Amino acid sequence: MLVRIGSRGSRLALTQAEQAAELLRGSGIEIAFVPITTAGDRDRTSPFGQIGERGVFVKEIEEALLAGRIDVAVHSAKDMTSDDTEGLAIGAYLERDDPRDALVGAGELRPGMRIGTASVRRRAQLLAAEPTISVEPMRGNVETRLRKMRERALDAIILASCGLDRLGLAGEIGLRLDPELMLPEAAQGALALQVRAGEEELVAHADHAETRRRVEPERACVALIGAGCLAPVAAHHDGTTLHALIADEDGAWVVRRSGDDPVALAEELAGLAARV
């Protein structure tokens, strides 16, 4: 049986696709990789708001899955829309890697630093922690951002720890940021295997139950707040409690709450933000 795996074509995306393939191989299953270029890959300079909402790195891959050109889509779960796409299902979450954000280029946050990131979630929390930091926009794959950091003489950039770990670049990390300081993106660190609805059994054996238990409330909370890619919103389940925040993009205010019910937590945060 041939299973066609679709993913973005970057080195990180293909490394992640190979992780999935290793779990799916066997019992007569052969794997073929199908690299797919997304809107976010085609335009690597414009702010996300100019090229689309949340999902700019998954839409074309989902379209290929719905059209039958691939059988399994491998996504960084944090890149997916908060709501599941009609006709598709997440058949498995692979065991989660480190969900924390990483400070690259420095070992601590200091006043007056120039830090590169395209994420408004990271921007909001950085400025809330230290208003004198200058946050400079930066997009591109991991290698491109590392190069731009050096070319532009930035003090640091922020990347996902898991991506650096998967690429063997953990040595670039100066500090893994505690979620108390920098709450991660919902589902950060997890890989999602997406299939057509009704075909979940194709990948079900690869599902990591504890990762699903934590990631699904994170995604649900963000979806219920109604956040798009540009909204400074975050959610992270530490294994015991779900933590979430909503913020002003310039860090003027950050509202954090913790609880067990993603619906109640989202409603509370949305209500508090409306009154700020």
Return the domain boundaries, the chain.
Answer: 101-176
Q: Which residue among 41, 43, 71, 79 is the active-site one?
A: 79
Q: What percent of the chain has pLDDT over 70?
A: 93
**What distance in Å separates the CA atoms of residue 194 and residue 196, rounded to the nearest whole number?**
7
Mean pLDDT of 147-176: 98
User: CATH fold of 101-176, please?
Assistant: D-Maltodextrin-Binding Protein; domain 2 (3.40.190)
pLDDT at site 270:
85
Question: Distance (Å, rounded) from C-alpha 257 to C-alpha 261?
Answer: 11
DSSP 130: -
The residue ranges of DSSP E strands in 108-250, in sequence order, are: 114-116, 134-136, 156-160, 173-176, 191-196, 233-237, 242-247
Q: What is the pLDDT of residues 9-50, one digit of tens each?
A: 999 999 999 999 999 997 678 999 999 998 767 655 555 554
Q: Categorize the per-residue pLDDT at 139 as very low, low, confident or very high, splitting at 50, 70 and 90.
A: confident
| Tokens describing residue 211 | 């990762």
Q: pTM of the entire structure?
A: 0.91
Give dist(CA 201, CA 44) in Å, integer.
Answer: 36
Residue-averaged pLDDT of the chain: 91
Q: Is 98 a catalytic residue?
A: no
Confidence of residue 202 (pLDDT cuts 50, 70, 90): very high
Tell me if 78 sits within 8 A of 187, measured CB to CB. yes
Q: How many Å apart are CA 122 and CA 116, to the nearest integer?
A: 10
90 in Cβ contact with 78 (< 8 Å)? no
| CA 252/CA 176 separation, integer angstroms | 24
